[in-house]
Chain A
């Protein structure tokens, strides 16, 4: 087996519905505990079963990107580039062959995909835009980010429902731990666009699912009735501890381990009764030598989707029974009510864990589970 390196977090960058900035901005948006979910403003929701969302102010992007740069980037690429730049500046790390990028996304660039197709439907062959087509590829955000920050190590895009950001951070941690990159900018991004929002609402994938109850994001609560979409990008700089120390970087926290797995389940479904024979949580605790009782907090991916919320609680209860943990660890903390569901949320959860650790708490577990059975676990602690 490859010798495993220790992985630390040395920078953060976020553009979300609560604000934008580096570590301080992440800290303040988490500390405020103020929900950015409100009625969608950038398009009309008439006739749509849902009307809430957590949107990023356009000025956040226009003030951070030169118009000549912005012109060539789709909006979701702009979100990615701004957040990655903020993270890199926060970390004070330089680009080059040692720096990689891992982008997690659930929906990619749906807006460009629709624009490209609409061009053909309206104007036939002359409506097909060569500038728009490259954005149709989900890897366009990673490509744009790599160019913006000079990342020449692997640039990987992982596509996954609900836990794309968590998975990106986990894969990035593996790249650094295995010595395949010295540092990786990792996180997630999604944008809220009308075509996507309307179709998801039509399909009953958003609150209020099946028209039940009042629209809103209430993870793990008795009245949870579906997720509310958000948008934004959050990225972390994950780095080899030795490299970080050698260059005098500010070390925020250590990624003590990351694991992910699959619970065989029919696509797009969640079954509370489905157990996990190879729990990444247990593998991670086992590998890290950390007892469940040492966990100070657990962040979960619960976003108000009742079936997934219930599944997450059941899985964690099986892995970490109440009597093996500190009181108050359950239910997991969800950030979805603050920022809305989007792929950046996974990285925000890890960032929140890292910031908890800097306050002197014990190790923090960041857990995720998605419809279809993809499960993630990331353990964040203080570097010793």
Chain B
């Protein structure tokens, strides 16, 4: 007997023996409180509990002994009561509901193509490249002066900006879209967890303040902007605006942040903590990011060319992307959408160097292998890899080495959407997860733009220039970051 079956039986007892209205019981969840005097509980008193215990003994064939007879003190909710029943029945691992899988039931994107997942996919499928000269701040004298910005008119259309950072506004728009797309009710949201991958926070506005204060030499009145520079502000903003009542986290794992947020969010579902998670990533362009990657000489003066022999570095971008992850049974029960299944995830660390990946791609290989193991699929079953593919010499070479070890030379189709939307930092893993799901849904692989002279050290078909129709059942998305942080996701149609 599963915990869900026990819960259903307990609900039936509430109607049949405790005379609850069936419509009231229909609203009951495993977390619903039982004892009287607790806000929002079913309000059971000692007589109710006595009736309940006698009926439970009869229906489940168990004995509730003297010590546990006073159920008011022992059980707060149906969850603990059902686990107690399973325990007495001798059912091992009487945890919470068995998860049959995790589906993605909602998508939201704001990026260089504009707002909306449909706009995003249309741009990718067309192979369009919105990497252009930066307009947000002065780039005079830098080696690279381009990036994939969210268009100004799109940002202007995202609603009021006062007291909210650019990054918060991008995140809110993408999260709202994902939630609406999934058709979640306020009741669903009240239980949903939120995991946000973030790096820069509201630093763009913090920089404005700092530059102004330094330029004038006087305290600037805009000091309030500093409240929002920390990455955790995004989660506070989303949690408040969307009324999310489940666990909330801000995950900073460099350029693997977005993918890691999805993997860690899925853990909460698999562990039975929540049935729903809003997970994703966000980053707006900042001067610090732009100057830092310029200082490291990692930016290409031209739009980046991942996997090309002549590649000279990456292009940075900005975006927000969120996914609604959901327990498959929960999604099915409420008639939610199904963009595809998150079959597995793997997170590893190189423990090698603070910026450079392990030269043999050891951590990358482990991340991919762990994700495949978790998904219970073999490398041969994966048809497409949405690569990290930044366009730097070192990343692309190392990722190719790792792909060769896992899939064999040419063993899988590979492309990098960073060639079009740039490297969107903490959003990258999430926006690429959305791209991977839409690839599965549309039967079309987005291209690697600007790839005209494939690097012979990268022996894969990297979908040069033009999107390719291809029915894909299983795909993998890679994200890697400074500090040797690796995250891989496996999706199934």
Contact = CB atoms under 8 A, between A and B. Distances in A.
Interface stretch (B7-15, B96-104, B113-121): B96-104
B223 interface: yes
A117 B210 CA distance: 9
Contacts of B79: 286-287
B483 A120 contact: no
Contacts of A149: 351
Contacts of B295: 128-130, 133
Contact of A289 (B74, B246, B293): B74
A313 interface: no
Interface in B284-315: 287-288, 291-297
Contacts of A383: none
Given A117-B210, A128-B291, A136-B288, A156 B190 contact: no
Contacts of B350: 146, 152
B132 to A, nearest CB: 22
B98 A116 contact: no
Nearest to A178: B271
B230 A156 contact: no
A362 interface: no
Contact of B77 (A129, A152, A286, A291): A286
Secondary structure type dominating chain B contacts: mixed
A282 to B, nearest CB: 6
Interface in B360-380: 363, 366
A278 B267 contact: no
Contact of A261 (B224, B242, B248): B248
A113 B288 contact: yes
A87 to B, nearest CB: 16
Interface stretch (B249-257, B335-343, B390-398, B433-441): B249-257
Nearest to B73: A291
A78 B145 CA distance: 34
Contact of B76 (A1, A174, A282): A282
B232 interface: yes
A110 B272 CA distance: 37
B404 interface: no
B349 A262 contact: no
For A140, A151, A177, the residue with the greatest tally of chain B CB atoms inside 10 Å of its CB is A140
A372 B292 contact: no
A139 B254 contact: yes
Given A117-B288, A152-B363, A268-B227, A134 B236 contact: no
B176 interface: no
Interface in A250-293: 259-268, 275, 277-278, 280, 282-283, 285-287, 289, 291
A59 B296 CA distance: 32
B349 A155 contact: yes
Interface residues of A, number: 82
A157 B351 contact: no
For B40, B79, B270, B291, the residue with the greatest tally of chain A CB atoms inside 10 Å of its CB is B291
A203 B243 CA distance: 28
Contacts of B446: none
Interface in B210-248: 210-211, 214, 219, 223-224, 226-228, 230-233, 235-237, 239-240, 242-248
B199 A137 contact: yes
B93 interface: yes
B193 to A, nearest CB: 8
Interface in A201-255: 202-203
Interface residues of B, number: 91
A142 B270 contact: no
Contacts, number: 247
Interface in A50-89: 72
Contacts of A156: 251, 253, 260, 264, 347
A167 B249 contact: yes
A268 B253 CA distance: 23
For B253, B293, B363, the residue with the greatest tally of chain A CB atoms inside 10 Å of its CB is B253
A130 B264 CA distance: 31
A108 B198 CA distance: 13
A373 B257 CA distance: 22
B442 interface: no
B248 A262 contact: yes
A341 interface: no
B484 A138 contact: no
B276 to A, nearest CB: 12
B330 interface: no
Interface in A126-175: 128-130, 133-134, 136-140, 142-144, 146-147, 149-161, 167, 171, 174-175
Contacts of A287: 79-80
A90 interface: no
Contacts of A72: 354
Interface string B84-107: 100000000101111100000000
A372 B236 contact: yes
A121 B39 contact: no
B361 to A, nearest CB: 13
B482 A143 contact: yes
A260 B248 contact: yes
B468 interface: no
B203 to A, nearest CB: 8
A152 B243 CA distance: 36
Contact of A1 (B96, B242, B247, B260): B96
For B99, B249, B347, the residue with the greatest tally of chain A CB atoms inside 10 Å of its CB is B249
Interface pairs A-B: 9 shortest CB-CB: A143-B483, A133-B292, A372-B236, A262-B248, A267-B236, A128-B295, A1-B272, A154-B347, A157-B252
8 contacts: A1-B93, A4-B271, A121-B214, A128-B292, A134-B483, A142-B485, A267-B237, A282-B76
Given A264-B242, A277-B40, A278-B245, 17 more contacts: A4-B95, A100-B349, A128-B295, A139-B253, A144-B354, A152-B349, A156-B260, A158-B252, A159-B232, A180-B267, A262-B248, A264-B240, A265-B240, A266-B240, A286-B76, A287-B80, A373-B240
Interface of A: 1-4, 72, 95, 97, 100-101, 106-108, 113, 116-117, 120-121, 124-125, 128-130, 133-134, 136-140, 142-144, 146-147, 149-161, 167, 171, 174-175, 177-178, 180, 199, 202-203, 259-268, 275, 277-278, 280, 282-283, 285-287, 289, 291, 318, 372-374
Interface of B: 31, 33, 39-40, 73-77, 79-80, 84, 93, 95-99, 141-142, 190-191, 194, 198-199, 207, 210-211, 214, 219, 223-224, 226-228, 230-233, 235-237, 239-240, 242-254, 257, 260, 264, 267-268, 270-273, 287-288, 291-297, 347-355, 363, 366, 481-485
